[in-house]
């Protein structure tokens, strides 16, 4: 089948790739562009480890077709840090022991970033809701929720 050209921004850089019509954004980012931060877990949108941001909105990379991302801005966990400086969410995840095996972490971080970008001061319930689509099988949800709340608080302090 004929391949199709697609251009988008990935973590701030312009990228152009040829994709299969049915290729998923997750496949394009990982095997096409070599950014292995988003993971494959279920391929059916139930586990959230493939979560990336498309124009700031959390999207499941395994259910998003690459051809629909023409001209969009894509963010993954690889682009969270500003050079050597960690994003507050990353620092909070480290501080609060919010990862065990680490496989769900890139998706969790992106779901959390989408939340904090649109709601800088979320309640605990809103945090739980925001990561409700992200499965952690090491069952470390409490430290993850605490880390996200701490990051929000820290960003609030910095803004004040």
Partner 1 sequence: MLEFRKDLFADERDDNLNVIGKGEQRQDMLGHVTGRTRFFDDHGFDGLLHLKVVRSPHHHARIRSIDVTAAERAPGVKRVIRGQDVPLNKNTLLSLIDFGKDDEPTLAVDKVRYKGEPIVAIIADSEAEALAAVKLVRVSYDPLPTVFDVQEALKPGAVVVNETYPGNYFEYHDKYDHQKLRFGDVEAAFRTADHVLEERYQMSPIEHASTETNGTIAAPETNNRYVVHSCAQGLFFSLGTTAKILALESNRLHFIGGTVGGGFGGKVDSLTEPLAVLGAILTGRPVRYVLGREEEMQFASPRGAERHVIKDGVMRDGRIVARQITSYFDAGAYTRLTSYGVVKCVAHMPGPYTIPNVRGDAYCVFTNRVPATAMRGFGVTGVDFSIEVQMDKLAHLVGIDPMEFRILNAYRDGDMKAHRRVAHNTALIECVQVVAEKVNWPLSETARRASSLSGGGGPRAAIPPTVTDESGRIGRPETRQAPPQLTPGAAPLPAHQPRPAVPVYQPPPAHQPAAALPNYPSQPADAAPLPAPAPPVPNAPAPPQHGAARFSSVFTRRR
List contacts with partner 1 (CB under 8 A).
Answer: 20, 22, 30-31, 34-44, 47, 49, 76-78, 80-81, 86, 89-90, 93-94, 97, 99, 101-106, 109, 135-138
Using DSSP bridges, classify how beta strands 4-10 and 73-75 pair: parallel, antiparallel or unpaired.
parallel
Residue closer to partner 1 by CB (options 64, 76) is 76
Tokens of 133: 């689509």
Backbone angles phi, psi at 117, to 5 degrees: -65, -35
CB atoms within 10 A of CB 136: 22
Residue closer to partner 1 by CB (options 38, 122) is 38
Sheet with strand 4-10: strands edge to edge = 13-19, 4-10, 73-75, 51-54, 57-60
For residues 141 and 81, is the Cβ–Cβ distance under 8 A? no
Q: Which residues of 74-98 are buried (b: 16+ CB within 10 A; e: fewer)?
A: bbbbebbeeeeeebbbbbbbeebeb
């Amino acid at each position: 089948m004929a391949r199709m050209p697609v251009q988008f921004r990935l973590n701030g850089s312009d990228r152009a790739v040829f994709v299969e019509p049915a290729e998923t954004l997750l496949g394009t980012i990982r095997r096409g562009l070599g950014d292995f931060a988003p993971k494959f877990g279920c391929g059916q949108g139930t586990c959230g480890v493939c979560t990336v941001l498309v124009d700031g909105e959390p999207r499941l990379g395994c259910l998003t077709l690459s051809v629909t991302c023409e001209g969009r801005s894509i963010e993954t966990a690889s682009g969270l840090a500003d050079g050597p400086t960690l994003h507050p969410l990353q620092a909070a995840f480290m501080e609060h022991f919010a990862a065990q095996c680490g496989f769900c972490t890139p998706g969790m971080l992106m779901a959390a970033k989408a939340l904090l970008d649109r709601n800088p001061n979320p309640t605990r319930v809103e945090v739980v809701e925001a990561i409700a689509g992200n499965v952690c099988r090491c069952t470390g949800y409490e430290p993850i929720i605490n880390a996200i709340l701490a990051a929000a608080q820290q960003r609030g302090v910095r803004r004040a």
